[in-house]
Amino acid sequence: MKLLIINGPNLNLLGTREPDTYGKESFEDYFSKLQFKFRETELSYYQSNIEGELIDRLQQADKEFDGVILNAAAYTHTSIGIGDAVKAISIPVVEVHISNTFSRESFRHTSYISANAKGIIIGFGLPVYDLAIQSFINK
């Protein structure tokens, strides 16, 4: 199985950005742990702060991967384009969020992705990625 993790804006700052909300571990370090834990699954990772690049990567993933784990970060709440890209591709997408978006500002309670996602995992810290991978393996 081949899975792609796509992270959106500011997630390149994990480990240093708001550690009380997002933790102190960089995503690169956590990704290495995921690769070790899920050795039977081919995991790839992509991050961009640019909306159009995230849309391009979702579209490309359709031909390369069995599924996508998407943390669109702030674009979750603003990007109809990313939501449309999720709807347009044929592979399943699991939406993840490190923090509980429903315990934060009200604008974070809306997602343009959720309606077309296979599922949503929020609020458990970095282990949301682990849970999303398991959702593909245990389908």
- Tell me how far CA of residue 26 lies from CA of 10, 11, 18, 30, 88, in angstroms: 12, 9, 12, 6, 31
Rg (CA), the chain: 14
Any known ligand binding at 108? yes
Is 22 an annotated catalytic residue? yes
Classify strands 119-122 and 93-97 as parallel, antiparallel or unpaired.
Answer: parallel
Is 97 an annotated catalytic residue? yes
Residues 30, 97, 112, 129: which is the catalytic one? 97
Q: Which strands form 67-71's sheet, in the order they lie side by side?
A: 42-47, 2-7, 67-71, 93-97, 119-122
Annotated binding site for substrate: 71, 77, 84, 98-99, 108
- The catalytic residues are 22, 97
